[in-house]
Amino acid sequence: MPVALVTGASSGIGHTFARTLAARGYDIVAVARDKQRLDALAVDVSAQHGRTVDVLPADLTDAGQLAVVEDRLAAGPPVDLLVNNAGFGARARFAEHDPDAIEAEIRLNVIALTRLTRAALPPMLARRSGAVVHVSSFASFQAAPTWAVYTATKAYVTSFSESVHEEVRGSGVRVLALCPGMTTTGFQERNAFDPSRVPRVAWSTPEAVVEVALRDLERGRAVSVPGLSNKAMVALSHLLPRALARRTAAAVANRL
Ligand SMILES: NC(=O)c1ccc[n+]([C@@H]2O[C@H](COP(=O)([O-])OP(=O)(O)OC[C@H]3O[C@@H](n4cnc5c(N)ncnc54)[C@H](OP(=O)(O)O)[C@@H]3O)[C@@H](O)[C@H]2O)c1
């Protein structure tokens, strides 16, 4: 049976990845801090799809706990798909942002994701098979005041992912940057952002996001942007002069 290791599998997009992959025949290694929610996922997946969920609770901002997950990828039974999904984006004006929260965000969104990919790739390359999905954001293409750290971490994720995608071209291993827009997971509420100010047309469900990601991974794409309105916004941010795109993003961020 193929095995997928999913970080942030206790809720939202990661939870949906775990359930969707189990429905497609994967056994799951589920990583997040909340063991109870991971245990509930394991019971659910086993009952609904007859697949195994290996619960691996870890705070990925902690170097020691991260090392356990790295070891699972590098030296444990083969992992066919790594979904580097765990992430958060605290909203604050940078000069007022808690320095420890800034560091935790960079540790999770950047350091953990990078180290897990570094651990996963050598065995995949040796087998000439496997895939890594990096959950970035459509915000990775655009500066966004009050999310300075978040958008910078996601710009890293998309750029890093595209570079590694090209490095492994022709190796049998695939790498995808998934860049969702607003997705109905509760992420916004957890990150000091009022979702009622975003028009309904801009939202996707986690199920739709995961469906598009897996389709684009299958097609060998480097970057996946689910949703027509998100695709249009990303295209516009590439077309507009950088200063104009930045000022527009600032106006939107201030409105939100
Ligand atoms: N929802 C959106 O609108 C949206 C849009 C674009 C991109 N994204 C990206 O999508 C990814 C998933 O977000 P989501 O919307 O599904 O949010 P979510 O429901 O808040 O899920 C975040 C996941 O990350 C895990 N996590 C948080 N801190 C962690 C830590 N220190 N160690 C290990 N796991 C940790 C959480 O589990 P525990 O709390 O149990 O640890 C949870 O499972 C993120 O990378 C986010 O940036 C989301």
Q: What is the pLDDT of residues 41-84, one digit of tens each?
A: 999 999 999 999 999 999 999 999 999 999 999 999 999 999 99
Q: What is the pLDDT of residues 77-113, one digit of tens each?
A: 999 999 999 999 999 999 999 999 999 999 999 999 9
- Cα–Cα distance, 182 to 195 (Å, whole number): 9
Atom in ligand 1 nearest the alpha carbon of residue 104: 31
More confident residue, 35 or 189: 35
Give 237 Cα–ligand 1 centroid separation in angstroms. 25
Q: Across the chain, what does the average pLDDT equal?
A: 95
Instruction: Please give the pLDDT value at position 189.
Output: 75
Q: State the residue range of the domain holding 215.
A: 3-255
Number of domains in the chain: 1
Question: Tell me, what CATH number does 167's domain have?
Answer: 3.40.50.720
Q: pLDDT value at position 103?
A: 98
Cα 170 to ligand 1 centre (Å) = 31
Taking the whole predicted model, whether its pTM rises above 0.85 is answered as yes
Tell me, what's the pLDDT at 120? 98
Could you give the percent of the chain with pLDDT greater than 90? 85
Q: Which spans in the chain are helix H?
A: 12-23, 35-49, 63-75, 99-106, 113-127, 148-167, 187-190, 206-218, 228-239, 242-255
Strands 3-7 and 130-135: unpaired
